[in-house]
């Protein structure tokens, strides 16, 4: 007699649907409250004549979150304060399936068209605005990309036109959303890994050494010098002289290469300050002493570090640490506020209670 085995229960990925209807006068405020840990949301002037509405679906794979959003006119702003509060440095990849949007980074504004892939580093400031929203997007943990791309910061604001890699990536995202709540967790991990591999492939040119007219000393490239600086941010000896010795180039050549970036010393200082910002907002380093961090990054006095930090970010290290403080267990950036609870519906068995969190890109 053959013994019948009981089926093994297999969980599915977490999926959520959000509906903020246009006939609800509280929808815009509730949506803004929900988005606040990641972006400051508002409706741009041209879109205020139309009642706000939004429909979105979120699919949580290991290390990756795939989402689809359709909404009326929207503006999303990520500031230094927002970054400090959310303590996330994930990469966001956005593709509009219809229409367009504009992104502003510093003084530079770019229009992104349908089918193009736009990359945003959530550890940096950005303003994204669209007359209407119809997109698919990815949120990926930075640590999953950093080993392959040492100069990941330069991906902020990168736009890749339609091509073979981008089309395959978009296809995987669309198929992931089609499967949605039926996707079993064991299958989700390799799919998430495949998405990460495709993202790495799209960004591969950022890490490829390329000689330029700025640096012509042997096979040295500006990218390779930048990569060396990233590796040595905590090295107190990092500076012009050490770079000259490492790469065997002339001082004038090095200076010419970094002149568009404000100079070698200024570039190194900014990279150190941005590194410090990330560490100060990292929940895992909540006991980090700012004075120790300043000395570690080559500043002879904590006061000099504080002045340079405030000049770059507009806030002091103490301000940033205060903004970054959050209760234990609140280390996932997408907070489901009580106002947003009525608008969010799990597509898989899940319980959303007041104050609970949706694990965007953070399932293990």
DSSP collapsed to 3 states, the chain = CCCCCCCCCCCECEEEEEEECCCCCCHHHHHHHHHCCCCEEECCHHHCCCCCCEEEEEEEEECEEEEEEEEEEEEEEECHHHHHHHCCCCEEEEEECCCEEEEEECCEEEEEECCCEEEEECCCCEEEEEEEEEEEEEEECHHHCCCCCCCHHHHCCCEECCCHHHHHHHHHHHHHHHHHHHCEHHHHHHHHHHHHHHHHHHCHHHHCCCCCCCCCCCCCCHHHHHHHHHHCCCCCCCCHHHHHHHHCCCHHHHHHHHHHHCCHHHHHHHHHHHHHHHHHCCHHHCCCCHHHHHHHCCCCCHHHHHHHHHHHHCCCHHHHHHHHCCCCCCCCCCECCHHHHHHEEECCCCCCCCCCECCCCCEC
Q: What is the C-alpha separation between 340 and 26, in angstroms, rounded?
A: 10
Fold match, 14-206+332-346 / 222-324: no
Q: Is the pLDDT assigned to residue 3 strictly greater than 70?
A: no
Confidence of residue 48 (pLDDT cuts 50, 70, 90): confident
**pLDDT value at 28 more than 70:** yes
Residue 360 has pLDDT above 60, yes or no: no
- Confidence (pLDDT) at 340: 77
Is the confidence at residue 310, as pLDDT, over 90?
yes
CATH of domain 14-206+332-346: 2.60.120.10
Mean residue pLDDT across the chain:
83
The pLDDT value recorded for residue 282 is 81
pLDDT tens-digit readout, 199-256: 988 887 676 544 444 455 455 678 788 888 988 888 888 999 999 999 888 899 899 9
Whether residue 285 has pLDDT greater than 90? no
Domain extent listing, the chain:
14-206+332-346, 222-324
DSSP assignment, residue 184? B
Q: Give me the architecture of the 222-324 domain, per CATH.
A: Orthogonal Bundle (1.10)
- Work out the pLDDT band at 331, boundaries 50, 70, 90: very low
pLDDT at 208: 58
Q: Which of 50, 45, 18 is nearest to 31 (CA)?
A: 18
What is the tens place of the pLDDT at every residue in 63-104? 899 999 999 999 999 998 888 887 677 899 999 999 999 999
């Amino acid at each position: 007699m053959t013994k019948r085995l009981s089926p093994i229960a297999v969980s599915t990925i977490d999926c959520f649907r959000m509906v903020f209807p246009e006939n609800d006068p509280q929808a815009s405020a509730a949506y803004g409250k929900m988005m606040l840990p990641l972006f400051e949301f508002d409706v741009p002037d041209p879109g205020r004549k139309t009642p706000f509405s939004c429909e979105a679906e979120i699919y949580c794979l290991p290390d990756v979150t795939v989402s689809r959003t359709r909404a009326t006119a929207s503006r999303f702003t990520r500031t230094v304060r927002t970054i400090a509060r959310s303590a996330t440095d994930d990469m966001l990849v956005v593709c509009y399936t219809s229409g367009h949007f504009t992104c502003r980074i510093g003084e530079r504004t770019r229009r992104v068209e349908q089918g193009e892939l736009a990359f945003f580093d959530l550890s940096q400031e950005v303003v994204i605005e669209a007359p209407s929203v119809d997109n698919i997007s990815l949120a990926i943990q930075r640590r999953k990309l950093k080993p392959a791309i040492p100069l990941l910061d330069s991906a902020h604001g990168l736009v890749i036109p339609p091509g073979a890699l981008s089309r395959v990536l978009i296809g995987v995202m669309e198929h992931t959303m089609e499967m949605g709540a039926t996707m079993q967790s064991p299958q989700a991990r390799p799919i998430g890994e495949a998405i990460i591999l495709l993202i790495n492939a799209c960004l591969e040119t950022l890490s490829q050494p390329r000689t330029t007219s700025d640096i012509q000393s042997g096979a040295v490239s500006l990218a390779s010098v930048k990569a060396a600086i990233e590796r040595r941010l905590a090295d107190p000896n990092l500076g012009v002289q050490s770079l000259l010795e490492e790469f065997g180039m002339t001082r004038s050549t090095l200076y010419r290469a970094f002149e568009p970036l404000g100079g070698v010393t200024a570039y190194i200082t900014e990279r150190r300050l941005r590194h410090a910002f990330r560490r100060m907002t990292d929940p895992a380093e909540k006991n980090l002493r700012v004075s120790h961090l300043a000395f570690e990054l080559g500043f002879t006095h904590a006061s000099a570090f504080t002045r340079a930090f405030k000049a770059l970010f507009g806030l002091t290290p103490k301000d940033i640490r205060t903004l970054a403080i959050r209760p234990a267990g609140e280390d996932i950036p997408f907070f489901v506020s009580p106002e947003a609870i009525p608008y969010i519906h799990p597509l898989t068995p899940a319980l959303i209670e007041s104050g609970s969190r949706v694990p965007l890109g953070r399932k293990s």
